[in-house]
């Protein structure tokens, strides 16, 4: 007999655009660069979480949901956090490839992007030296075009460097945090202090979402779905791949995580991304993405940076729950409000201005009977083990390859 999970019991589609966001006061911060996203995330149960991501660019708010597979004792109902980053990153690159090709008068046919993302986890949670890391992604652009090899390679390299997500990949951005335990603000310990007033805890906004708000555009199917397929073991040269139920909850770890996102363009212009989780071995999910009106799309699905922002927040939230589980810290609830600021770069006249980003800003709300020092420790270790905050603080340059189809 199957058991319905808390995420399924809510009765919503996994992803949908929130109606009446103004009434719920779901606003994005004023953009300091080109665009900003405010991401509100709450923990549901186990590894299940839901997010509301509001973009300053479109004014839209998307409700997204995340889960994990059996490697974290999850129910595998929704995509894992790293699948959101892979989807957002590969779509960010695809958007810029298409935009620059149009600006340069290049005809691209049968476009497909294949992106591999790698992360590491090593050390002991009990000793306090467990650390998450991020490695440079591999990006292969497969395309049919009359342009010569050098022109296509230059196009793709310029597109990668000017895509908004490049601002988070390049340089070394140290994320900043504010913390509260049981509603009382605390000064963080080892993580960088946001040094700004704590935002309001928006826990109740999820309860106020009208159930009939689940509007999904007519796209011949859901915006995200579990295909029911599992990844096959990856026949590669990288070691330390892991699999098995609960494997990611081990107190001591030394492993590599590997995801592959394949982005194609549907006939209706929407991008479809198939995400395979090779290590730890997991399910294959499909996610849809489209930029808003005036930015190359119609806004029928979450845009690339909405996925990126959600991925960072979901990954951090997973580390909060995972660390508390490993060390036996009692958390009755936890939530975040996260702001991201990015700017698209430019490439014209032979001059490339790379995309930029500010450090991610996260307000963390913990409900716990533990003391203040334990709350600070949870924050410190969650940041230290978060793969996507590691991505932000590590200078990563994707390896880019162009293949003719």
Q: Which residues on adjacent β-strands are paired with residue 373?
A: none
115: domain CATH number is 3.30.300.20
The answer to whether residues 256 and 236 touch, using CB atoms and an 8 Å cutoff, is: no
Q: Name the phi and psi angles at 181, rounded to 5.
A: -120, 125
Q: Is residue 386 part of a domain?
A: yes
Q: Is residue 169 part of a domain?
A: yes
Q: How many CB atoms lie within 10 A of CB 135?
A: 18
Please report which helix (H) or strand (E) contains residue 397, including its range: none
| Distance between first and last Cα of the chain | 47
* pLDDT at residue number 237: 55
Structural domain boundaries, residue 88: 6-404
Which of these, 405, 329, 393, 328, lies nearest to 366 by C-alpha position? 329
Helices (H), 163-303: 166-169
The answer to whether residues 30 and 56 touch, using CB atoms and an 8 Å cutoff, is: yes
Q: Which residues on adjacent β-strands are paired with residue 325?
A: none
279 vs 256: CA distance, rounded Å: 7
- Coil/strand/helix, residue 222: coil
The dihedral built from the CA positions of residue 220, 224, 229 and 233, taken in this order, carries a sign that is positive
Q: Is residue 374 part of a domain?
A: yes
Q: Is residue 64 part of a domain?
A: yes
Q: Is residue 33 part of a domain?
A: yes
Q: Is residue 392 part of a domain?
A: yes
Per-residue pLDDT of the chain (405 residues; tens, 9 = 90+): 457 899 999 888 899 999 877 888 899 999 999 999 999 999 999 999 999 999 999 999 999 999 999 999 999 999 999 999 999 999 999 999 999 999 999 999 999 999 999 999 999 999 999 999 999 999 999 999 999 999 999 999 999 999 999 999 998 999 999 999 999 999 999 999 998 999 999 888 998 886 654 445 567 789 999 999 999 877 765 567 777 777 788 889 999 999 999 999 999 999 999 999 999 999 999 999 999 999 999 999 999 999 999 999 999 999 999 999 999 999 999 999 999 999 999 998 889 999 999 999 999 999 999 999 999 999 999 999 999 999 999 999 999 999 998
Q: Domains in the chain: how many in total?
A: 1
The answer to whether residues 286 and 273 touch, using CB atoms and an 8 Å cutoff, is: yes
* pLDDT at residue number 213: 44
Q: Is residue 1 part of a domain?
A: no
255 vs 135: CA distance, rounded Å: 13
């Amino acid at each position: 007999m199957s058991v319905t999970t808390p995420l399924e019991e809510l009765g919503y589609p996994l992803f949908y655009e929130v109606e009446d966001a103004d009434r719920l006061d779901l606003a994005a911060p004023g953009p300091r660069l080109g665009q900003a996203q405010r991401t509100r995330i709450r923990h549901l149960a186990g590894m299940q979480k839901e997010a509301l991501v509001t973009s300053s660019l479109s004014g839209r708010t998307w409700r997204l949901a995340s889960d994990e597979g059996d490697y974290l004792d999850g129910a595998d109902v929704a995509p894992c956090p790293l699948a959101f980053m892979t989807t957002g990153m590969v779509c960010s690159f695809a958007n810029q490839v298409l935009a620059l090709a149009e600006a340069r008068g290049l005809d691209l046919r049968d476009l497909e992007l294949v992106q591999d993302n790698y992360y590491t986890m090593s050390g002991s949670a009990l000793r306090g030296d467990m650390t998450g890391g991020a490695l440079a992604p591999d990006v292969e652009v497969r395309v049919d075009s009359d342009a010569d090899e050098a022109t296509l390679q230059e196009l793709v390299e310029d597109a990668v460097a000017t895509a908004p997500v490049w601002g988070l990949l390049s340089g070394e951005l140290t994320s900043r945090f504010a913390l509260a335990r049981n509603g009382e603000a605390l000064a963080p310990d080892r993580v960088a202090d946001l040094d700004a007033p704590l935002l309001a805890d928006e826990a109740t906004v999820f309860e106020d979402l009208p159930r009939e708000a689940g509007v999904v555009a007519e796209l011949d199917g859901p915006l995200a779905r579990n295909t029911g397929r599992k990844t096959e073991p990856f026949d590669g040269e990288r070691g330390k791949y892991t699999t098995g139920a609960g494997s990611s909850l081990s107190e001591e770890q030394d492993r590599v995580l590997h995801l592959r996102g394949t982005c194609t363009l549907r006939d209706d212009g929407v991008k479809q991304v198939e995400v395979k989780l090779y290590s730890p071995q997991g399910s294959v999910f499909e996610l849809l993405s489209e930029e808003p009106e005036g930015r190359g799309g119609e806004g029928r699905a979450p845009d690339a940076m909405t996925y990126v922002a959600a991925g960072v927040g979901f990954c951090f939230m997973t580390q909060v729950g995972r660390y508390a589980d490993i060390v036996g810290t009692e958390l009755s609830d936890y939530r975040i409000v996260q702001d991201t600021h990015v700017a698209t770069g430019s490439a014209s006249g032979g001059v490339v201005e790379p995309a930029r980003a500010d450090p991610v800003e996260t307000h963390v709300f913990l409900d716990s009977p533990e003391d203040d020092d334990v709350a600070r420790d949870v924050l410190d270790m969650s940041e230290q083990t978060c793969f996507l905050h590691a991505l932000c603080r590590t200078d990563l340059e994707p390896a880019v390859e162009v293949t003719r189809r």
